[in-house]
């Protein structure tokens, strides 16, 4: 944790009084839950983004400490951000900033960082990550289709009508490329981070999804199904680069 806190303190010094003033005026209590309309309005209100300025935000805020120099996390504790949809990254930063995500110590750290960002910086750094090539997992895609892969493909492509589970692809795309608004790209995502995220939705610790969409989906999945999906999407990132 010390490795993360020191860069954060340095970032405070680099931001200077303007950054601190913005942080002081940021939300410190949980904001109202999103609706589709309010989320769309909030994202539309962000300034026009410049990925080049976003790279400067990435460097000045020492984002690489957790998310890697090129947006690929060096450990399995954090999400890969390279190639992620700008709208999703921007939403997450707004959620951290406004107190919608505080489920872990990592989320609390991100809250402190996000509260130092202006709307322009949020738009820029989200655009920067979207401009980067998606991550390629170190693991190679497995040969053939084992039972685990078949379980995941069923959930991704067909869902499970008996449990009222819609196909993952209906929101996240057949290739895991992401969809509208808050539906992130999943191809190549850090598998352990994926599992933790789904378990947080499953247990109700994370509740920043619009209309409880992911909570409704995740609470119907078993641990083994969640792990199967994590491996499927991690391998899908390899397949996209062949």
- Give the HSE-up count for residue 2: Cα atoms under 13 Å, Cβ half-sphere: 0
Residue range 68-73: mean pLDDT, rounded = 95
- Asked whether the CA dihedral 96, 100, 104, 108 is positive or negative, the reply is positive
How far from chain centre, in Å, is Cα 166? 21
Give dist(CA 172, CA 192) in Å, integer: 18
pLDDT in tens, 95-153: 999 999 999 999 999 999 999 999 999 999 999 999 999 887 553 334 445 678 999 99
pTM for the complete prediction?
0.82
For residues 190 and 231, the answer to whether their CB atoms sit within 8 Å is no
How many helices and strands in the chain, by DSSP H and E? 12, 0
CA distance 122 to 64: 16
Domain ranges in the chain with CATH number 1.10.760.10: 2-131, 147-239
As assigned by CATH, the class of the 2-131 domain is mainly alpha
Both tokens of 62, joined, read 């020492």
Question: Which CATH number fits the domain 147-239, given the four candidates 2.40.50.140, 3.90.226.10, 1.10.760.10, 3.10.105.10?
Answer: 1.10.760.10
Residue 227 pLDDT greater than 70, yes or no = yes
Q: Is the pLDDT of residue 9 over 80?
A: no
Mean pLDDT on 202-222: 94
Is residue 153 a contact partner of residue 232, using CB atoms and an 8 Å limit?
yes
d(CA 13, CA 46): 25
The DSSP annotation for 22-50 comes to HHHTS--SPPPPP-HHHHHHHHHTSPPP-
Q: Give 32-45 pLDDT, tens digit per residue.
A: 899 999 999 999 99
Q: pLDDT category, 237, cuts 50, 70, 90?
A: low
For the residues of 118-167, what is the DSSP string, one character each? Answer: -HHHHHHHHHHHHHSPPP--SSPPPSS--HHHHHHHHHHHT-BGGGTBPP
Alpha carbon of residue 61 to chain centroid: 17
């Amino acid at each position: 944790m010390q490795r993360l806190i020191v860069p954060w303190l340095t970032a405070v010094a680099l931001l200077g009084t303007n950054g601190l003033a913005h942080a002081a005026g940021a939300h410190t209590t949980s904001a109202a839950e999103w609706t589709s309309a309010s989320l769309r309005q909030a994202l539309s209100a962000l300034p026009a983004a410049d990925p080049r300025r976003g790279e400067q935000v990435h460097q000045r805020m020492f984002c690489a400490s957790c998310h890697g120099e090129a947006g690929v996390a060096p450990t399995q504790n954090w999400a890969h951000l390279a190639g992620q949809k700008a709208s999703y990254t921007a939403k997450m930063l707004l959620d951290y900033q406004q107190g919608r995500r505080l489920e872990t110590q990592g989320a609390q750290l991100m809250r402190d960082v996000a509260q130092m960002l202006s709307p322009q910086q949020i738009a820029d750094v989200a655009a920067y990550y979207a401009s980067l090539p998606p991550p390629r997992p170190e693991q190679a895609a497995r040969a053939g289709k084992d039972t685990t892969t078949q379980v995941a493909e069923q959930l991704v492509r067909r869902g499970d009508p008996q449990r009222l589970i819609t196909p993952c692809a209906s929101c996240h795309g057949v290739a895991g490329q992401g969809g509208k608004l808050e539906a992130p790209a999943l191809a190549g995502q850090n598998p352990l981070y994926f599992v933790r995220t789904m378990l947080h939705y499953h247990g109700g610790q994370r509740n920043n999804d619009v209309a409880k969409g992911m909570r409704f989906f995740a609470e119907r999945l078993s641990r083994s199904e969640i792990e199967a999906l994590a491996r499927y999407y991690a391998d899908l990132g390899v397949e996209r680069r062949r």
